[in-house]
A and B are shown apart, each in its own frame.
Chain A
Amino acid sequence: MGSDDQLPPILSEELLLSVAEELKLPLLQIAREAERGEAVHPALRTIRATADSALRLLDSYALGVRLALEPAELAAESISVSSVLYDTGQQLDALAKQYGVTLELNVAGRFGPVLAHRQGLQAALVSLGAALVEALPAQGGEQLTLQLATHRSRYGIVAGLYADNRLLSAEALRHGRELQRRSRQPLLNLSHTSGAGIFVADTLLTAMRLRLHTSRHHGRYGLGTVLQSSQQIQLV
Chain B
Amino acid sequence: MHVLLVEPDRILADTYRQALQVANHAVTVVPTAQSAISAADKATPELVILELQLVEHSGIEFLYEFRSYPDWQTVPVIIHSQVPPGEFKDSQQILRDQLGVTDYLYKPHTSLRQLLRSVDQQAATPA
Question: Is B one of A's binding partners?
Answer: yes
Given known contacts A29-B15, A59-B108, A35 and B113 CB-to-CB distance under 8 angstroms: yes
Min distance, Cβ A35 to any Cβ of chain B, angstroms: 5
Q: Which bracket fits the contact residues of B?
A: 10 to 19
Min distance, Cβ A130 to any Cβ of chain B, angstroms: 14
A110 contacts partner chain B, Cβ-Cβ < 8 Å: no
Contact of B11 with A29 in the complex, beta carbons under 8 Å: yes
CA distance in complex: A145, B112 (Å)? 29
Q: Which residue of B lies closest to A27 (CB)?
A: B108
A55 contacts partner chain B, Cβ-Cβ < 8 Å: yes
Contact of A56 with B109 in the complex, beta carbons under 8 Å: yes
Q: Which residue of B lies closest to A120 (CB)?
A: B86
Contact of A35 with B108 in the complex, beta carbons under 8 Å: no
Contact of B112 with A28 in the complex, beta carbons under 8 Å: no
Q: Which residue of B lies closest to A63 (CB)?
A: B84
A13 contacts partner chain B, Cβ-Cβ < 8 Å: no
CA distance in complex: A52, B86 (Å)? 20
Which of B19, B84, B108 has a CB less than 8 Å from the CB of A28?
A: B108
B124 contacts partner chain A, Cβ-Cβ < 8 Å: no
B58 contacts partner chain A, Cβ-Cβ < 8 Å: no
Q: Which bracket fits the contact residues of A?
A: 10 to 19
Query: Residues of A contacting B18 with CB < 8 Å?
Result: 36
Given known contacts A24-B108, A55-B108, A59-B108, A32 and B84 CB-to-CB distance under 8 angstroms: no
Q: Chain B contact residues: over half helix, strand or loop, or mixed?
A: helix
B74 contacts partner chain A, Cβ-Cβ < 8 Å: no
Contact of A35 with B9 in the complex, beta carbons under 8 Å: no
Q: Digit string of A181-223 for contact with B (CB within 8 Å is 1, else 0)?
A: 0000000000000000000000000000000000000000000
CA distance in complex: A28, B13 (Å)? 12
Q: Chain A contact residues: over half helix, strand or loop, or mixed?
A: helix
Min distance, Cβ A145 to any Cβ of chain B, angstroms: 25
Which of B82, B86, B113 has a CB less than 8 Å from the CB of A119?
A: B86
Contact of B108 with A56 in the complex, beta carbons under 8 Å: yes
Min distance, Cβ A164 to any Cβ of chain B, angstroms: 30
CA distance in complex: A24, B109 (Å)? 11
Q: Digit string of A12-27 for contact with B (CB within 8 Å is 1, else 0)?
A: 0000000000001100
CA distance in complex: A90, B113 (Å)? 14
Query: Residues of A contacting B89 with CB < 8 Å?
Result: 75
Query: Residues of A contacting B9 with CB < 8 Å?
Result: 25, 29
Using a CB-CB cutoff of 8 Å, which residues 1-58 of chain B contact chain A? 9, 11-12, 15-16, 18-19
Given known contacts A36-B19, A119-B84, A119-B86, A28 and B12 CB-to-CB distance under 8 angstroms: yes
Q: Which residue of A lies closest to B11 (CB)?
A: A29
- In the complex, which of the residues A32, A33, A36, A59 has the most CB atoms of chain B within 10 Å of its own CB atom? A32
Using a CB-CB cutoff of 8 Å, which residues 60-112 of chain B contact chain A? 82, 84, 86, 89, 107-109, 111-112
A contact residues vs B (CB 8 Å cutoff): 24-25, 28-29, 32-33, 35-36, 52, 55-56, 59, 63, 73, 75, 91, 119
Further pairs besides A29-B12, A73-B86: 8, Cβ < 8 Å? A25-B9, A28-B107, A29-B11, A32-B12, A32-B15, A32-B19, A35-B111, A63-B84
* 12 pairs, A vs B, C-beta closer than 8 Å: A24-B82, A24-B108, A28-B108, A32-B12, A33-B11, A35-B112, A35-B113, A36-B15, A55-B108, A63-B84, A119-B84, A119-B86
